[in-house]
Structures are given as C-alpha cells and as structure tokens.
Amino acid sequence: MASPYLENFVVDENELFSIGEAAAQIKAILKMLGIPSDVIRRASIVAYEAEMNLVIHGGGGRMELEVRPERVKISALDAGPGIPDIEKAMMEGFSTASEKIREMGFGAGMGLPNIKRNSDSLELLSEVGKGTTLRAEILVKQEREG
Amino acid sequence: MLGIEVRHGACKRCVKCIRSCPTQAMRIYQGAVRVDTELCVGCGECIRVCPWKAIEVRQDSWVALRKTPNLLLTADPSFYVQTGSCGRTGSLQESLDRLGFEDISDYISTAYDLAALAIARQINERRKDDLPLISTYCPAVLRLIQLSHPELIDRLVGVESPLEIGVDHWRRATGRAESVVLLAPCPAMSMLQSLPAGRAKSNFDHVIIIRQVIRNLISEGATVNELPLSFERNGRWLMWALHGGETRHIAATMGRPLTSIVATGIRNLQDLLNELELGRLGCVEYLECRMCDQGCLGGVATSESRFMSLVRLQNLNINWTLTREERERLLALYATDIWRFSEPIRPLKQKSLSDDIQQAMARLRKMNELYATLPGIDCGSCGHPSCHAMAADLARGEGEMTNCIFKLKERITDLSSRIFELCARNPETPMSLGRHGRAAGTGDSEHDDR
Ligand SMILES: Nc1ncnc2c1ncn2[C@@H]1O[C@H](COP(=O)(O)OP(=O)(O)O)[C@@H](O)[C@H]1O
Ligand code: SF4
Ligand SMILES: [Mg+2]
C-alpha cells in the first residue's frame, strides 16, 4: 500500500490570538490534494477545535495530519494537565475554561462534541498530569449520515 | 465567457495583474497573459492594478448598440449616482430616454423590493442554527463561494439578482421579448450575462460598462439636473449600490433590526467566510458581502469617484416604508416564485494538484521539495503568481524551473564556474600539445606547416 501523506504542526501555547493557523494549513493541504469539499469542511472543524483545546487546555503541543486516499486522520497531542473525566468532558456545554477565556468568546463546551459529530471515529486518551492525545478520522469515500 | 479581456498588444508583461488576482487565476505563459476562465470571479482587481490599461471589462460595442432599434436598457443602481453636484444626482435616466431607451426602471425597482422581501422571509423561516445566510447580490462573491467555499453554498440566500428578476417581471407583465442591455459596474456583472449562476440563460443579451456610457453622455453634453422625483419616491433600490443598503432594505421590510455583517474587499471576505466555516458567527442573521470597497459604487467599471457617489447616495431622501398597495402587489408577486433561482447553485471544481488523490499526494511532496528551493519572495517574474503557485504548477508538470530568474542565475553561475574550471584544465590532446609546442615528438603538424 502506498505511503500516506504526513505533516506535523507545532501549536504554541501563546497562540491564542492567531488560533486556527494549523487548522488553516490543514485545510489548504486537503484542498491541494483534491479531497471532497464535505470531507474538508468536517476535517477543518475537527482540526480547529482540536487546535483550540491544545492552546486553551493542553498548554500547547503538536498536531499531525495523515492523509490516505480513503481517509483523513487528525491528531492533537499535548503534555498538559490531562482530562480527569473523559465522559464528562465529551458532554455538550461542559467546560473548565476560565472566565477570562470565556470573555474572549472561547470555551462554550462544544469543542469535543463538535469533533465527535464531524468525525467517523474518535479516540481520546488522557492521563492526569501526563497529557492528552486525540485522534479523529474522517472517511473520504463512504457517505455518512447525519 | 470571461468578464475581462486582455489587450495583448498593450501588455508589457509587468506581472502586476497576475500577482493581484485573489484566486490566482492568471499566468504568463509563452509571453502572454492567460486567464483561467474557471477561476476568474470578475472582481476587477487586475484592471485596477494594470498600469498600461491592457485589461478591460468585456463588453459589447456601445456605438453599435446605440443605433440598434427596439433595444431596452437596464442600469445597475450605481449608474444613477455617477453624475451630479454634491448631494444631488444627475438625471441620467432622462439622458437615456433621450437616446431612445425606454425606461423600465419601475419594474426593476419593484424587483429590488421583492428581493428584499424574499430575503427577509428566508431569514425568518430559517432555523437559528443555520444562520447567517449570505447575500448572492455580488456575482463575484457568489462565484468566490462556489469556488473556494463550496461548503458554504447551503448558506447562500436563494434569491436571484434583482436585475434578472426585474427583467423577468417586465417580460411577464408586458409579454414583450425585445433584447435587453445590462449597464454593468464591473466584470462580475458582465459575467451575470455571459456566465449566469442559478439559471440556464441570462435575461440580458448585451453588456455595456457604466464608464463607457457616462463618458459618451457627458461628451454629448448630458445635463446634470436633479434626479427625477419618481426615483426619490422609491429610491430604496438605489441604496443597494452602497454597502449596507441591502441590509437596510431587508430590515425595513422586516420591520425590525437585522443583525447583519457588511463586509467588502477580498481580505475581509476571506476572513469572514473562514470564520463562518468554523461556526463562529453565532448570533448573526445575514452577511452582506461585496467584492468592492463601498459596494458597487467602487466597481472597476464605474466612472465617478466612489467617495463622491457615496455622498450623493447618502443625501437622497429615501422613503423606506412601503405603502399598503405596494406591499399587496409585492406579496402577489412573491407568490409567483419569480424571485427564485431556477437551478441550484453548484460548487465549481477546485484546482487541486490532481484528480487522483494518490497522484496529488505524490505531487504535493514534490511541490514541497520544489518550494523549499525557491526564494519565497513571490516576485512573479516567472509568470506564476507566487513561489507557492510556481511550485504547484511545476509539480503538475506546467512550466520550467528556470523560468525563475533566481534559479536561472543559479544555473548560470553553476555553468560558468564549470566552464571556468574546464578552461583552466590542460587537456592533453595532440592539437593543444602541438600548439604549445611543449611536447616532443608529436607536434609534427605545426612544424610541417611552416
Ligand atoms: N487537551 C486537553 N487538555 C486538557 N483538558 C482538555 C483538553 N481538551 C479538552 N479538555 C477538557 O474538556 C473540556 C471540554 O472541552 P470542549 O468540549 O472542547 O469545550 P471547551 O474547550 O469549550 O471548554 C474542557 O473544558 C477541558 O476541561
Ligand atoms: S461589489 Fe458590485 S461592483 Fe463590485 S464586483 Fe460585486 S457586484 Fe460588481
Ligand atoms: Mg474546546
């Protein structure tokens, strides 16, 4: 099988004001690769929300893009505080974002639910004090409902 | 057909146009500017930046059209504020009347009222989560979305250009079928005729640009009187020429404030559409997007300063309230569905590296390698709009690396140092040995010649 297209992005903790840069680059790459627009739309949302969480909660980290003709995989990895209760974190509206972050318009608690809704498979691994790894896949060919 | 035309004779290949194009639709290939019809949105930026006036809006011949009998003419609202004194608009409709063009502006202004009503209804009927809707008035914006933001197509408001609706309305009401000329402020409006979206065929048979007609009228001594009163009574449609005018009209129809963002210029539009894609425009109901600064007053094919026409438009006494009869007539028209697109707005094919993802992946790797060797200053001398676009084109197999003057210089430096090195060598050929006469026994020929 042919090797996938890989790309890495460093996401700096202090990038609150330029947030979305990695997501924008991911989108540009997917366009160049001729990925169908619906897949690009979903992948962009996943990448953007994952990037936000890296900056706001994870203390910065790294993002990975892996493209194969049949699917797009986006990962976000950090060595931040971790998530104590993943089930709770996945709930709509749940957020531990500070008042300050919320005043800036972030932290509505919809990030993880949005990632879930827009991906075909989602893996969230976290250990308190060690960090968090999120991996989301979006299938290219298969039609998806909802 | 494209909304622009390149006059190759006047072109000096200075590459300003290809660098200015927001969709990177232009290249210089084999010494001539080429425009990719699929990618051109008709914004007119290339026309603005060309110092040699080598690019024009595509239009028909005004000289010929003036003499054509039984022709009607519909002007974009921006036309009516192109002349006049400060705070007063010239009576341009009268000038057109004198040329023998029948005035159908009543039908057109009604169509603008109808469009505002139809948009208001669509906003009100839409689920809050699926707002904001995006205006389809500026054809350049519409095309940009079809091209670069296909995922936002379902956000486009499903209401046709009121210019098209107006002619439909006139044709249906009068049963007449004469040809209609569109007086356009920009290449995008010219493309409304030649490359319509959302309908199979445009109502317009010809296009003339506003600047052409105004210059002609003025050279023939057009009077700069006041706008006819009938226009002031229903001048709502004229305000669409100014950014914010559409929003104002829709809000007046709704009878409540409308939460709308008015954005003009490619940079603002790109930022705004990206934010919408990321779902960040929560409480906003409508996006009034225009390619040109100030709106259509800033269209590249207008003749007057956009600042002056703005002053005139702002000083008009607009009556924003519809009479009861007007409202009833509108509701009856609304029910006929005349305002709807007759065909769906489809995404336009994006320019990827290949139609085959596997091949595109290989080319993207190649492109990254090539890009890393380019200087990254986006000078455009290679005929490609940026180093990035150059790398992409090379990966597609279009163009030559040595079209880059820096790479060419590198090659020349390389080659000349090799030549230099070769020159310094003393090859032991019979001839050279003979000429220098250093070697013994083999240099016979020279001696023989003597
Ligand atoms: N990378 C991460 N590191 C630590 N905690 C995280 C991370 N990502 C998400 N969380 C936790 O999960 C919660 C929910 O995340 P999310 O749904 O994106 O909402 P929001 O970011 O608006 O708070 C966050 O408030 C945070 O407590
Ligand atoms: S804003 Fe008006 S003048 Fe400018 S491109 Fe759009 S329709 Fe044409
Ligand atoms: Mg989040």
CB contact under 8 A, B361 and A44: no
| β-strand pairing of B179-184 with B206-209 | parallel
| Least confident range of A48-52, B335-339, B349-353, B362-366 | B349-353
Nearest CA in chain A to B275: A20
Q: Could you give the CA distance from residue B198 to residue B145 in angstroms, rounded to a whole number? A: 13
Burial B212-243 (b: 16+ CB within 10 A, else e): bbbebbeeeebeebebbeebeebbbbbbbbbb
| Facing A45 at nearest CB: one of B279, B352, B354 | B279
Would the pTM count as exceeding 0.90? no
Closest atom of ligand 1 to A108 CA is: 22
Closest atom of ligand 1 to A111 CA is: 18
Q: Which ligand is nearest the CA of B278, by number?
A: 3
B304 pLDDT more than 60: yes
Nearest to B62, CA basis, from B219, B225, B296, B241: B219
> At B278, is the pLDDT very low, low, confident or very high (cuts 50, 70, 90)?
confident
Q: Which ligand is nearest the CA of A85, by number?
A: 1
Q: Where are the domains positioned within chain B?
A: 62-335, 357-440
Question: What value of ipTM does the predicted structure carry?
Answer: 0.86
Residue B1 is encoded by which pair of tokens? Answer: 């057909």
Q: Could you give the CA distance from residue B44 to residue B55 in angstroms, rounded to a whole number? A: 9
By most ligand atoms within 8 Å of CB, the mutation choice from A16, A52, A57, A132 for ligand 1 is A57
Query: Could you tell me which CATH class the domain B357-440 is placed in?
Result: mainly alpha
A14 pLDDT more than 60: yes
**Which residue's alpha carbon is nearest to atom 2 within ligand 2?**
B296
A139 pLDDT more than 80: yes
User: To the nearest whole angstrom, how far is the Cα of A129 from the nearest Cα of chain B?
Assistant: 30
| Least confident range of A131-140, B114-123, B341-350 | B341-350
DSSP E strands, A12-120: 61-68, 71-78
Nearest to A53, CA basis, from A121, A136, A146: A136
Max mean pLDDT among B77-86, B100-109, B377-386 falls in B377-386
Nearest to B182, CA basis, from B65, B265, B282: B65
What is the CB neighbour count within 10 angstroms for residue B408?
A: 15
pLDDT at A108: 82
Model pLDDT for residues B433-448, shown as the tens digit of each residue: 555 555 444 444 444 4
Q: Which of A5, A18, A32, A114 to mutate to test the interface with B (most CBs of B within 10 A)?
A: A32
By most ligand atoms within 8 Å of CB, the mutation choice from A13, A53, A101 for ligand 1 is A53
How many angstroms separate the Cα of B394 from the Cα of each of A75, B179, B384, B397? Answer: 30, 46, 10, 5
Contacts A5 to B, Cβ<8 Å:
361, 364-365
Model pLDDT for residues B365-409, shown as the tens digit of each residue: 999 999 999 999 999 999 999 999 999 999 999 988 989 988 888
pLDDT at B223: 59
Contacts of B96 (CB under 8 A, 6+ apart): B73, B75, B103
